[in-house]
Amino acid sequence: MRASVLSDWLAQRLDRGNGQPIYRQLHRLLQQAILSRELPAGTKVPSSRLLAQELGIGRNTVTQVYEQLVLEGYVSSATGRGTFVADSAPDEIVGAPDAEGPAAKPEPLPLPLQAKRALSTRGARLIAGAGVSKRQWGAFMPGVPDVTKFPARVWSRLHNKYWRRLRPDLLTYAPGGGLALLRHALADYLRTSRSVRCTPEQIIITTGIHQSVDLAVRLLSDPGDVIWTEDPCYWGVRSVLHVSGLQSRPIAVDEEGINPSADDLAQPPKLMLVTPSHQYPLGMVMSLARRRMLLEYARQNQCWIIEDDYDSEYRYGSRPLASLQGLDTSGQVIYVGSFGKTLFPGLRIGYLVVPEALAESFATASAELYREGQLLQQAMLAEFIAEGHFTSHIRKMRTLYGQRRQTLLDAAAQRYGDALPAVGGDAGLHLVMQLPEGTDDRAVAAAALARNIVVRPLSGYYAQPSLAPSGLLIGYACVPDEEIAPAFNTLADAIDATLPQFA
């Protein structure tokens, strides 16, 4: 990297919203660029005045970082001539503990360098297409529930209870499939709340939907097989599929859900991945006719349907809808769900419900591949469900999110009237605000991020973003009621700045 592109490289990586002081971020980024030889020995770094100006930060900050790097031997400064990358950089610094605690994870290396180093083709493709956001909390992070409302006292009572008496059976590796107690509690819940037909033995506990999909595609397909995915669909599972070597065939959705054309139907896939209760991210519900058609097609063509039921507990105004799995009479559906949205994402507990004939293979494979554990958390969770806390938490959160959704819709209507309609808002944790055709929704999202607001561009969920409709995914669940309207106004400023017709 030439010194002249250094400022851009740094500007893309400095994150004012991640809670880390700019001084520390800049220091670490420069160390990293020098250690990776992206800034080769002898390179003259920009003056502190110029770099401060280009990054929009205080000159003192840059001066202090340069002084620190001089002390550490990364750069040397020659009076009157400037600051230069030293001939040999100390290489023990990356990952070393620093004064403020254990080492923070180093920033990912610039892509070309990663690819050059060691990544396989699929690894490089995964990283290049990665969609994960650095921020996972705050206005308007889609898909994140309000974790501050989690009944922490109940959880900590259960936690203490299980740790008071050490139980080796809960601290060792998990038998394939997970803790029987949790599988029983879940079977009851899924039968009554989601109309899922299952016995506890058909349930396999995983770390969430990502892992459930990973396990299902590994066991039911081979590299090169075709999987139908909805277009648009969740980027996370798309990544899981690509790494498994599957070929995704994006299938358009309409108001009734996934809508394969005659051409699609003529080439049956091995698997399909659908979100029937709440299409992600657009929010429609798959019609009964479409459900029947898919099940019949899957039966006739021997394909598997993976049903991702990630957030269907949250419907405002109507009862939660029954699962597709509940209509399946020929054992074609693999149902996947998660406690990530109902409790908290960091819990990392999810589950699959598989046809009876596959249950044992899935349990064995899960243990073979992932060497599972977390039985203690599973025991706590089973008791949490059995004592009724799970359903009452969902009930409470449904009311809260319904109010937040309305507050957001009101704020949007006040600012834009009908000009920017919202879709998919009657369920889930986010809604989609449509932007005028041709709008660069990535630019709008970037402008919002510069104002400390996270939204996701809708086009990024489509197989061909350049041809996709434009919009923003706005998550309201994790934003306190009183912050929604002000945060929306900040977002609207970003929209107006990018779309002159609204300014």
Ligand X SMILES: Cc1ncc(COP(=O)(O)O)c(C=O)c1O
Residue 208 as a binder of ligand X (CB under 6 A): the answer is: yes
For residue 99, give the amino acid letter: A
Q: By C-beta, is 209 or 251 nearer to ligand X?
A: 209
CA atoms within 13 A on the CB side of 265: 11
Burial of 267 (0-12, 13-18, 19+ CB in 10 A): exposed
Stretch that binds ligand X, among 78-86, 92-100, 161-169, 202-210 (CB under 6 A): 202-210
Q: How far is the CB of 95 from ligand X (least distance, A)?
A: 28
Question: Binders of ligand X: how many residues, by CB under 6 A?
Answer: 15
Q: How far is the CB of 334 from ligand X (least distance, A)?
A: 14
| Contact status: 456 vs ligand X (CB under 6 A) | no
Q: Choose between 9 and 370: whose C-beta lies nearer to ligand X.
A: 370
As a whole number of angstroms, the distance between CA 407 and CA 483 comes to 10
- Of 274 and 293, the one with the shorter C-beta distance to ligand X is 274
Tell whether residue 140 is a contact of ligand X (CB under 6 A). Answer: no
Q: Which stretch binds ligand X (CB under 6 A): 52-60, 126-134, 229-237, 287-295?
A: 229-237
Omega within 30 of 0 (cis) for the link into 140: yes
Q: Which stretch binds ligand X (CB under 6 A): 153-161, 203-211, 351-359, 486-494?
A: 203-211
Does 210 help bind ligand X (rule: CB under 6 A)?
yes
Output the 3-class SS for 337-374. EECCCCCCHHHCCEEEECCHHHHHHHHHHHHHHHCCCC
Q: Which is nearer to ligand X, 61 or 275 (CB)?
A: 275
Q: Interface with ligand X includes 143 (CB under 6 A)?
A: yes
Residue 257 within binding range of ligand X, rule CB under 6 A: no
* 38 vs 230 by CB, closer to ligand X: 230
For ligand X, which is the closer residue by CB, 311 or 383? 311
15: which 2 tokens? Answer: 């994150």
274, burial (CB in 10 Å: exposed 0-12, middle 13-18, buried 19+): buried
Preceding omega of 269 cis (within 30 degrees of 0): no
Give the separation between CA 339 and CA 91, rounded to whole angstroms: 42
Residue span binding ligand X (CB under 6 A) among the ranges 109-117, 155-163, 232-240, 486-494? 232-240
Q: Determine, following the binding rule CB under 6 A, whether residue 475 of this chain makes contact with ligand X.
A: no
Contact 220, 271 (CB under 8 A): yes
Q: What is the DSSP code string of 10-24?
A: HHHH--TTSSS-HHH
**In angstroms, what is the minimal distance from the CB of 382 to ligand X?**
18
What residues from 318 to 357 belong to the interface with ligand X (CB under 6 A)?
A: 338, 340, 345, 350
**Cβ atoms of 44 and 1 closer than 8 Å:** no
460 binds ligand X (CB under 6 A): no
Q: Is 236 in the site for ligand X (CB under 6 A)?
A: yes
Q: How far apart are CA 15 and CA 22, in angstroms?
A: 8
What phi and psi values does residue 248 have, to the nearest 5 degrees? -85, 135
275 is a contact residue toward ligand X (CB under 6 A): yes
The H helix count followed by the E strand count for the chain is: 18, 15
Q: Is residue 280 a contact point for ligand X (CB under 6 A)?
A: yes
> Residue 322 has what DSSP assignment?
P
**Binding marks (x or -) toward ligand X, 411..430, rule CB under 6 A?**
--------------------
Q: How far is the CB of 456 from ligand X (least distance, A)?
A: 10
Residue 307's DSSP bridge partners are: 274, 335
Contacts with ligand X, residue ranges (CB under 6 A): 143, 208-210, 234, 236-237, 275, 280, 308, 310, 338, 340, 345, 350
